[in-house]
Structures are given as structure tokens and as C-alpha cells.
Amino acid sequence: MILNISTYLFTPLEDLSELREKLLEKCLSHELKGTILIAPEGINMFLAGQEQSVRDFFQWLHQDSRFANIETKDSWSSNQPFKKMLVKIKTEIIRMNHPSVQPSTGRAPSVKPVDLQRWLAQGHDDAGRPIVLLDTRNTFEVHYGTFDQAIHFDIPKFSDFPEAIKKHKEEFKDKTIVSFCTGGIRCEKANLFMREIGLKNSVQLDGGILKYFEEVGKDHYTGDCFVFDERVALDPALNEHPPAD
């Protein structure tokens, strides 16, 4: 079995060229495949390989104090879902085009998967406010599956999110907005932006859909979750769906 991990961390990075070479060399030496994006704001990773090789890589990575707290979302597959190993330098690890949004200086509040499950069952958050489930993913991803009664803005790319949410500011102002995405990275920025424009009751689903699947399962969710590799989508049991032949 192949261990697949997805993870990200907003943390200031300066030595991007040097870091790129170190990451690529270490991944290749451990026969890992996937994609790593690095930018001044942090790191975003999708990797797959033999379990021990993946664990050894992260043991090495955790020795760098900047990445000591990085956590992974794990799933398994019978085949290697990536064709090659790429490490790319970007201006942002998730493009939003709003320099004022800096997750590395502080996160917006989040809700744990089990607490969101409870909120959805009771029909409101712990303060009694109605909940808006906001899918921040792109349109094609939403079509694979999403939370029941979630709304989305039918956006082709995440950089369109800021203008889309502005149009709903008054509609959402007295509600608790729970934004979610695949693994949480887009919601880090989405929540900071929403708070910047005055939507103070916004929280993100901690760890995104994949962490919800891992800790809760399919409760209040219909369909699968699109992932960015050859598996295409995972079901709530974190299995490839439909499974490869």
C-alpha cells in the first residue's frame, strides 16, 4: 500500500532556492512522488510513497523549526498516484492576490470536525447563531461532493473568492460562516479576508473535508472529495472512488 499525505503550513520562508534543492533531494532519495509548493508565505505538499519512506521524510522535515508543527492528512492507495516529484517556487502557496491576508502572522478561528458535526445536528452553533456552510472550492471540485445544504459561489478559481463573498456580506453578517475546502489551506485565507471585511463570525473547518472524513466520516456530507492526484476523488472512508481497475 502507498501512503498519501497532504499538508500545508503558513510560515515565513526566505531561502526558497536552497530549500527547494533540499526538499527535492530528500524526496528523490526516499523515492517519493508528488508536488511541493513553497513561497514566502509557507509550504503546501502532496506526497506519496512507501509508508516508512514518508515517515522518515517527515522526521527529517520536523528537524527544521519552521516545520516542526506541520501535521499531515493521511490516506492509502494500492498504486502510486503521482507520475513524478516536483518542487516549485511560487509567489503564494494558494493564490488569492490579497497581500494584506497573511496567515503566517495568525490564524482565524476554526471549528473541529466533531464540533461541526454537532452544530449541524443541532441546527446552530454554540452561541445559538444559524450556520452558513460555505464551500470555497472551485466549481468542478464541488460537483464531486459537498456538505449537505452548503452554498458555493460557482467560482472557476480561488482568486475570485474575495469579490464573490463581498456580494453576500449583508446576507451573512448575523450568521456563523463555516468555510471549508479540501484540506484547509484556502479557508485559512478565506476566513482572514472575511474578517477583514467585517464578517467576524467566520470560522474554518479545521483540516478541511479530508480531516472531517478521517474523524467523522460521511455524516452531513454527500458524494466524494476531489483530490489533486490520479485517484481523482476519495469517498468518506478515504478510499479511492471509484477504485482503480
Q: What is the pLDDT of residue 245?
A: 47
- Percent of the chain at pLDDT exceeding 90: 93
pLDDT of residue 243: 55
Say which of 27, 181, 187, 225 is annotated catalytic: 181
Tens of pLDDT, residue by residue over 37-47, are 999 999 999 99
Report pLDDT digits (tens) over 83-122.
999 999 999 999 999 999 999 888 889 999 999 999 999 9
pLDDT digits (tens, 9 = 90+) for 23-36: 999 999 999 999 99
Is 181 annotated as catalytic? yes
pLDDT score of 244 more than 60: no
Q: What is the DSSP annotation of the chain?
A: -EEEEEEEEE-----HHHHHHHHHHHHHHTT-EEEEEEETTEEEEEEEE-HHHHHHHHHHHTTSGGGTT---EEEEESS---SSEEEEE-S-SS----TT--GGG-PPPEE-HHHHHHHHHHTS-TTS--EEEEE-S-HHHHTTEEETT-EE---SSGGGHHHHHHTTHHHHTTSEEEEE-SSSHHHHHHHHHHHHTT-TTEEEETTHHHHHHHHT-STTEEE-EE-SSTT-EE-TTS-BSSPP-
pLDDT, residue 242, reads 66
Percent of the chain at pLDDT > 70 equals 98
**Beta-carbon contacts of residue 140 (< 8 Å; ≥ 6 apart):** 226
Q: Which domains does the chain have, with CATH numbers?
A: 2-89 (3.30.70.100), 103-234 (3.40.250.10)
Task: Write out pLDDT tens, residues 227-243.
Answer: 989 999 999 999 987 65
* 125-159: pLDDT as tens digits: 999 999 999 999 999 999 999 999 999 999 999 99
